[in-house]
Structures are given as C-alpha cells and as structure tokens.
A and B are shown apart, each in its own frame.
Chain A
Amino acid sequence: MSEVKKETGTFAVKTGLAEMLKGGVIMDVVTPEQAKIAEEAGAVAVMALERVPSDIRAQGGVARMSDPEMISGIQQAVTIPVMAKARIGHIVEARVLEALEIDFIDESEVLTPADEAHHILKSAFKVPFVCGARNLGEALRRIGEGAAMIRTKGEAGTGDVVEAVRHIRQVNSDIQRVVGASHMELMAIAKELGAPYELVVQVKELGRLPVVNFAAGGIATPADAALMMVLGCDGVFVGSGIFKSDNPARRAKAIVEAVAHYQDAALIAEVSKGLGEAMRGQSVAQMEDRDKIADRGW
C-alpha cells in the first residue's frame, strides 16, 4: 500500500478544515492562558494575536502580524486549531505564519493593510486562508484568489453587531439575486459585482457561497452570536467581546452553547443569565468613516 499518493495543501483539504469548524466559535486570544480558557469553554479554534481589535482601535499605531514566539506559545498550549492574522497583501507575513505551521491564516483588515491594491494570492500557499467580505462580490474575489473560508467583516472592536448584520444581509441578498437570475444574466451580474464569472455560476448552482462563511466584527453576547446563525452564517468569530467582558470564561462558554443551540431561545435565555457586563463597546452609527476598519481591502 506504500504506492498510495498523498496530496497536501489542496483546495479540498483547505476547505475541509473550514467545514469541520462549522457551528463553532473562534475566539481571539492574546496569551496561552486565554487560549486555554477558550479551549475549555468549547471554542473550535483560537485566533492568536497581540492586541484584540478594541485595543488596536484605542491605542492606534500600525497593527502587524504577532510575535512568532507568542504564536508558538499558544500553539503549544492547546490542541484545537490555531489561526493568526497577516496584513492584507503582506506575502511575507503570510509565509512566516505558514513556516510556523499555523492552521489557518486570516488576511485581515483588522491589521494595517500592507498593500492597498492587491490581496495575497492565497492559492500559492499550502495553508488555508480566511478573508473578510462585506458583499458577494468581495467574497468571490477572495475565493478567486484562493481563500478557503470567508467571514463577513462587521466592524471589529466595537461590540456593535450592526455592521455584521448589514454584511450578512448584503451577502444573502446578493446570493438571492444570483439564484433568481437566468444563466444569460450571470455575466452581467459578474461584471457588476466584480466577481469571477465561474464562481457566480457556482453560487447559482449551490444557492450559497462555495465556501464556509462565518460572522465577525462586533459580536458581544450569546444572543448576538445566535442572531448571526439565524441569519445563515456557518459559525462566528468573537474578538474583543470575550476577554474585554467581566467574566470571559462564562461568557465564552455561553456563546459556544448559544451557537450550538441557536434556535433554542429558552436555552439562550438560561446561558445568558448573570454573565456580568459585556464589553462597553462603541456605536458604529456615531463613528467617523475614517475610523471604520471594514472599508480596508476591496
């Protein structure tokens, strides 16, 4: 049987990991201790980063890939998959993360973009990528570059779920339009969305995105997380929402349970009791446009 030919780093293997994360919660962590709390609470993966988005927002400056030593420490602390962020277009940060054998790279607008014109050609990597999107065109451009997973962007570090809702509503409505269109209309739609034609055809056939889509950006409570599932997301990323709250361990566990049982309002009521204060947050409607992270990347 030694003649069996093994292929690694294929698109099926990359999207396969994303499929296994479905129905789960991916949590931002900045230390090995936080990673252990996340794993203990039932996270399906952790995102290793130096500062959570709300701190990046508050402190300003250039946000870059995390210290490899910190990432390695988190990899050693848990057995669940470990993700990490590279700057948009920063090919070398992504190669460094690949060399660290990270399980998934987030080419993320939360960090300061390194390239304002080009995203990374993700198909050239063995490691899978997740990328942010605000609408179907943006999602399909990233998949066209090789992303194995999409997350709606939301507005990271705010604790305000309104942008996450806006983005998934937009993706859903774009998909409905593609599904309802005749095949003859798809090229014109592809042109308008700025999306690869073949992927638009695939969306029509599947009736959904060709890869797994999680929600991100502003999810702070179990009810927020369940809301994103009700709206059709496959899972959620929670960034600042957990470790900027009063009781991270309990809140993390409650969000995991609310995502698993998102249609069970009585259960969400039960797990939401006495969690202490959620992150204070800031309302997106009162923010200046230049402070919005979601507009980074295209």
Chain B
Amino acid sequence: MKVGILALQGAVREHRNMLHRLGAQTVDVLNPQDLRGVSGLILPGGESTTVGKLMLRYGLLTPIAEAGRAGLPIFGTCTGLILLAKHINNSSQHTLALMDASVERNAFGRQQASFEADMPIPVLGGKPFHAIFIRAPYIEKVGSGVTVLLRHDEKILFARQGNLLAAAFHPELTDDTRIHEYFLSFIIEN
C-alpha cells in the first residue's frame, strides 16, 4: 500500500512517521506525476492560503479533485479539511470542492485560542482521542451525504463522506494511531 502525502508545505513529516509506524509506504506529492500509483492521499496541516496557491500553480487541484471524485481515499487535517470542502465562509480561496461542507477558517481565533482536549470519538472505540487544535477551522454545516464523527459546542470537528475524511485537529501530532488506522481501512476496503 502506497499513500501519497501532499508535501508542498506543512506538517508532512509527522504524517509520514505515523504511516510508516503502521507499515504503509509513503510518497511525497509535489507534482501531478507523483500521484501515479497511490492508493490514498493525505492533505496535511499547514497554512491553507499557501498550500492552496501552490496546488493551483503546480496543477494539483484538478487531478486530486478528479481522483477524489473517482473514489480515491483522501484524508485532510486542518488545512486539509479546508481544501476538501465545497464552501469556505468569507473566502474565495481555491479548494478541491469535494466534501459537502461549509467551513469557517481560523474559527476559534488567533493562536492564543489554540487548545488541546480529550474528545470522545465513538467510531474509534475505546478511550477519548487527545485532539490538538492549532488556529483550527471547523465545519459549520454539512450535506446529507456526510457523517459527523465528532461535534463539540455545535461545531463539527471530524467528518466522513464516503472515501473522504476530514479532521479539524492534528492526530499526526500525537502518538495515537487510531485515526490513521481508520483512514487506512478505507484504502483496504477500496
């Protein structure tokens, strides 16, 4: 199993380490040809305006959007969640427009509002997940095809739409592999 990681900017190394721990191979995606042969794709956290611009400039938006529509499992964290969404409130930012969701950027405020907390996520089973939120977005509302996996204070923080998975927080910054395992199960089913 070879999983692509969008490597234009952001927390690439942490996702790579997590996947290697789980026995998956990874490839850094910088150009469209790097997508060849990948069975899944991770869109890491970073600065969404930077990553969005670089994806557009290097012709990555269209091929990734097409692959996502064709069923390629894609997991976005934070910036990745923004990139997956069909609608971003108060922004004309370029996205893949795959997930039927409206996203609020920097929704909790500036860095001093960034936080960590144990959040119960039933789909993962077992103990709560230690979620780290960094200048995080959240999903304000979703369409009927989207399953909400974590909601807190009316904010959707973790969601799935078929082959697409989106988290407002950063499982790659923890030692807990459950969310990455959950994503890899999409690839195995696929």
Contacts and interface: CB of A to CB of B under 8 A. Distances in A.
A63 interface: no
Contact of B112 (A44, A126, A256, A264): A126
Given A7-B116, A24-B46, A80-B49, A256 B111 contact: no
Contacts of A75: 110
A278 to B, nearest CB: 22
Name the interface size band of chain B. Answer: 35 or more
Interface stretch (B6-14, B62-70, B95-103, B181-189): B6-14
Nearest to B152: A1
B116 A6 contact: yes
Interface string B167-184: 000100100000000000
Interface string A1-13: 1101111111011
B50 A43 contact: yes
A260 B49 CA distance: 14
Interface stretch (B19-27, B117-125, B138-146, B158-166): B117-125
Contacts of A17: 111, 114, 134-135
Contact of B111 (A1, A23, A79, A104): A104
B57 interface: yes
A8 B115 CA distance: 4
A107 interface: no
B172 to A, nearest CB: 9
A42 B49 contact: yes
B50 A256 contact: yes
A80 B54 contact: no
Contacts of B111: 17, 81, 101-104, 127-128
Contacts of B113: 8
A45 interface: yes
Given A79-B49, A101-B110, A13 B9 contact: no
Contacts of B39: none
A261 interface: yes
A257 interface: yes
B10 A260 contact: no
B157 to A, nearest CB: 11
Contact of A20 (B8, B46, B105, B115): B46
A23 B7 CA distance: 8
A39 B117 contact: no
B66 to A, nearest CB: 22
Contacts of B13: 22
B114 A4 contact: no
Nearest to A20: B45
B143 to A, nearest CB: 23
A20 B10 contact: yes
Given A16-B134, A21-B47, A127-B111, A257 B119 contact: no
Contact of A6 (B8, B11, B115, B134): B115
A128 B135 CA distance: 13
Contacts of B7: 23
Interface in A62-77: 75
A74 to B, nearest CB: 13
B115 A13 contact: yes
Interface string A243-272: 000000000000011001100100000000
A262 B135 CA distance: 27
A103 B14 contact: no
Contacts of B153: 1-2
Contacts of A98: 112
B106 A101 contact: no
Contacts of B152: 1, 4
Interface in B57-111: 57, 78-79, 105-106, 109-111
A4 B118 contact: yes
A195 to B, nearest CB: 24
B49 A39 contact: yes
12 contacts: A5-B117, A8-B113, A8-B115, A12-B173, A13-B115, A16-B134, A19-B10, A20-B134, A22-B9, A45-B47, A101-B109, A256-B54
